[in-house]
């Protein structure tokens, strides 16, 4: 879990240190995605949890790529989406640094809350 939080933190810093002139004024182009930014956060949090559990070998079938992909498919089904729609939405929102920063901040917040609950 610490590794994922560290990676997310570093990603956030990189985004925050980007070109400030482009961040809030850049208009997102392309067809609006089926997923909202909040839905992207929900899916991303679950994917990060599965990846962390896999990396920590907490899953019975850890270190096997195929089962990890199967877990991700279950997440997509649970959130009523699929890989294609999720990645399109993520890429769409990534066009605006402020939106992407908000997404990562939400992911970090939700993972931190879960980590705090787990350590009690």
Q: What is the pLDDT of residues 63-120, one digit of tens each?
A: 555 577 888 999 999 999 999 999 999 999 999 999 999 999 999 999 999 989 888 7
Mean pLDDT of the chain: 80
Domain range holding 74? Answer: 2-14+33-119
7 in any annotated domain:
yes
Question: Regarding predicted confidence, which is higher, 23 or 118?
Answer: 118
23 in any annotated domain:
no
- What pLDDT shows up at residue 68? 77
81 in any annotated domain:
yes
27 in any annotated domain:
no
pLDDT surpasses 80 at 1: no
20 in any annotated domain:
no
**80 Ramachandran zone, left/alpha/beta (phi>0; psi -120 to 50):** left
Asked whether the beta carbons of 89 and 43 are under 8 A apart, the reply is no
115 in any annotated domain:
yes
DSSP string, the chain: -HHHHHHHHHHHHHHHTS-HHHHTTPPP-SSPPSS-HHHHHHHHHHHHHHHHHHHTT-STTTT-HHHHHHHHHHHHHHTT--HHHHHHHHHHHTTSHHHHHHHHHHHHHHHHHHHHHHH-
101 in any annotated domain:
yes
Asked whether the beta carbons of 89 and 40 are under 8 A apart, the reply is yes
* pTM, to two decimals: 0.71
25 in any annotated domain:
no
pLDDT surpasses 70 at 15: no
Domain count across the chain = 1
Q: Residue 41: pLDDT band by 50, 70, 90 thresholds?
A: very high
């Amino acid at each position: 879990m610490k590794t994922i939080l560290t990676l997310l933190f570093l990603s956030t810093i990189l985004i925050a240190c980007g070109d400030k002139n482009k961040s809030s004024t850049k208009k997102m182009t392309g067809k609006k995605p089926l997923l909202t930014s909040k839905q992207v956060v929900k899916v991303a949090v679950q994917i990060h949890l599965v990846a962390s559990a896999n990396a920590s070998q907490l899953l019975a079938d850890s270190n096997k790529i195929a089962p990890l992909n199967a877990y991700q498919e279950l997440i997509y089904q649970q959130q009523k989406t699929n890989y294609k729609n999720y990645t399109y939405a993520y890429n769409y929102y990534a066009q605006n640094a402020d939106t992407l920063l908000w997404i990562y901040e939400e992911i970090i917040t939700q993972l931190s809350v879960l980590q705090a609950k787990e350590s009690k």
